[in-house]
Chain A
């Protein structure tokens, strides 16, 4: 850790419960379904969530599940003008609100 990364590691993300009304873990979307990012599932180490945020999965952003691989994992999401491939377990760290 140093002066470059320390303030970035201190960043705080909005925690959200996937069980809340109207909410869903992002990996459980249907193909073609659109949703808005509500927050991130509470976990001990938020480093992976901070990276997902830096990838463009920010709170309030619209995402769409484009396709699943033949064995249902990994997943491709449309986000911020591009397509991003995530594994199901990482996608499930994000909580979305279905439109």
Chain B
């Protein structure tokens, strides 16, 4: 299937294939590949939904892909082509059909949105249009099952489709003439300007009112992924927490109950906990896309995002990343250019996500006394705001750098998009988008997250410390916190933490902090729990009090306070920039189609984090003397 973006191609594809769809990536590139099957009687047809395109003349790497697939001799070359023509912009659609006719592949044209054409007082004679272009032409309006059945029937016999005696010309002057003559002989009455859309745009794109409505919409959007998803996620966590408790209570063998409760159940819970956010985000993105408001978001935000070399639509992905980078990276699917998509997904994890909040709260509590004020504003809140701002600025700057690195050869790509008429989104379409996003996340990313969380569990809990060892070390076996602390101290993670500690020495991190950093690879908020375990915090609800008193255990600094303002500031900056989230790494792998991009992201973010943390530590120490 080929067709202009917004021509109703995906809707038709979904209607034809039902749920028999596979979403993957084309080999080596960040372009999703949608394939599916449709069956009629004993015949099965494999359909592929090629990326939406206005032309076969490629100006970007993604579009070269389409040309390569259609090349004769290509292993992916289809037996026949469906060209989707939008009845409301037939002129433009016919230009693409003219190019397709050059390919020599049996071609069937499908006319969509003829109901919309009629609503806007336009008309076209189908028989004469079919004669004029020389291809078989069928009309399909969304939701019309009889038309869909006829189309399926036609799909099983492409050998009967007529071909034009001579393909349409492609030289600009000639193709314009061809389109004009086709439209004339089909008696095409172009649709009137869509009054409803014009009236809505007059308000929604008004310099003042429109901007205001935009900010309110985005605030609501953000509020939903942040606040509405939170209780749902809490419920998922509570259910899996209960399950883990049950396992711990009923499985006697220590290491096995740990593996089941913390490793397996914790891991599965760690995958499913993302679903409420992903479902809500994709429901809202689908509504924005289907109603046509997404194009207006791009219009209003393009100038701002353009500063970072991105386009307006990247704004939604960046905003979503403030809740969590995982759905944020998935939201980059709405960007048609692979280059923009990569630049956005590689930098979205720099936005301050909700998992950083507990860590920030703990560290800011150590850095700034609760009552401190700068004029009327509380200093703690101000530091928090500064960190959010830092994340946004860092993401935009990094995106700008990536765009320049990825630039490659050729002219800068133009940015263009159709401003579609406003439409009501269908419920089926909505359900489908939410289902697709959740299913592909669980299937493709879930496995990686599960394996990684098992790995981190193993690091933190193996080798298992025996009761004899604990008794020998003088640990009271009834003191659970002390037992946990001893276990962690003996674990492989501690060994890793101690091994990598020299790397973090200049930042002032001792091995207990680096163990916390290892533990945070599963999820950043785990840092708070790990660090309080290592420090044997008597009060896990307020680890801050114990932490403030912590001192270096050995080495040249032995006895000095560990969490000096310089170290706390360095830790804050480290958490702001480092890619310490295996779920994000897994999602990057899935969405970019290779391990190369997550590896680069991990490298540049960790490097950036280390250098900035070191500089900030020096700066804070210089300021405080």
Contact = CB atoms under 8 A, between A and B. Distances in A.
Nearest to B96: A54
A87 B91 CA distance: 22
B172 A74 contact: no
B414 A48 contact: yes
Interface in B286-314: 295, 298-300, 302-303, 306
B89 A80 contact: yes
B298 A7 contact: no
A89 to B, nearest CB: 8
Scoring A48, A58, A71, A82 by chain B CB atoms within 10 A of each residue's CB, the highest score goes to A82
Contacts of B300: 69-70
Interface in B204-236: 205, 207, 210-211
Contacts of A78: 193
Contacts of A86: 414-416
A99 B172 CA distance: 23
Given A47-B410, A58-B176, A69-B303, A2 B68 contact: yes
A11 B176 contact: no
Nearest to A56: B92
A56 B59 contact: no
Interface in A56-95: 56, 58-60, 67, 69-71, 73-74, 76, 78, 80-87, 90
Best-buried of A4, A59, A73 by chain B (most CB within 10 Å):
A4
Contacts of B165: none
Contacts of A70: 207, 210-211, 300, 303
B414 A13 contact: no
A48 B59 contact: yes
Given A5-B58, A90-B414, A80 B205 contact: no
A8 interface: yes
Interface residues of B, number: 52
B5 to A, nearest CB: 11
Contact of B57 (A50, A69, A74): A50
B176 A55 contact: no
Nearest to B174: A11
B56 interface: yes
A51 B96 CA distance: 11
B59 A2 contact: no
A63 to B, nearest CB: 13
Most buried by B among A54, A59, A73, A87: A54
Contacts of B90: 81
Contacts of B416: 51-52, 55, 84-87, 90
B419 interface: yes
B411 interface: yes
A3 interface: yes
Contacts of B88: 81-82
Interface in B381-415: 410-411, 413-415
Given A50-B55, A50-B57, A55-B92, A3 B172 contact: no
How many A residues touch the partner, as a band?
35 or more
Contact of A11 (B71, B172, B211): B172
A81 B418 CA distance: 11
B417 interface: yes
Given A11-B57, A51-B54, A59 B176 contact: yes
Contacts of B91: 56, 80-81
Contact of B67 (A4, A51, A67): A4
Contact of A59 (B95, B102, B172): B172
A53 B606 CA distance: 45
Contacts of B295: 85
Contacts of A90: 414-416
A3 B55 CA distance: 15
Contacts of A12: 171-172
A47 to B, nearest CB: 5
B70 A67 contact: no
Nearest to A47: B59
Contacts of A8: 55-57, 99, 170
Interface string B85-103: 0001111100110010011
Interface in B143-194: 170-173, 176, 190-191, 193
Given A67-B205, A84-B416, A85-B299, A4 B411 contact: no
A21 B134 CA distance: 42
A89 B96 CA distance: 25
B123 to A, nearest CB: 13
Contacts of B299: 69, 74, 76, 85
B499 interface: no
A73 B415 contact: no
B64 interface: yes
Interface in A1-31: 2-5, 7-9, 11-14
A70 B414 CA distance: 20
Given A12-B172, A48-B411, A4 B418 contact: no
Nearest to A93: B414
B414 A58 contact: no
Interface in B497-511: none
Contacts of A52: 414, 416
A14 B58 CA distance: 20
B97 to A, nearest CB: 12
A14 B174 CA distance: 13
A50 B58 CA distance: 10
25 contacts: A4-B70, A11-B172, A14-B172, A51-B55, A51-B57, A54-B92, A56-B89, A56-B95, A59-B173, A69-B303, A70-B210, A70-B303, A74-B299, A74-B415, A76-B299, A81-B88, A82-B92, A82-B419, A84-B416, A84-B419, A85-B295, A86-B414, A87-B306, A90-B414, A90-B415
Interface of A: 2-5, 7-9, 11-14, 45, 47-48, 50-56, 58-60, 67, 69-71, 73-74, 76, 78, 80-87, 90
Given A4-B102, A48-B414, 10 more contacts: A13-B172, A48-B59, A54-B92, A54-B95, A69-B299, A73-B302, A74-B299, A80-B89, A80-B92, A85-B302
A-B residue pairs, 10 tightest by C-beta: A8-B57, A54-B55, A83-B419, A90-B414, A71-B303, A80-B91, A5-B67, A82-B89, A4-B67, A2-B71
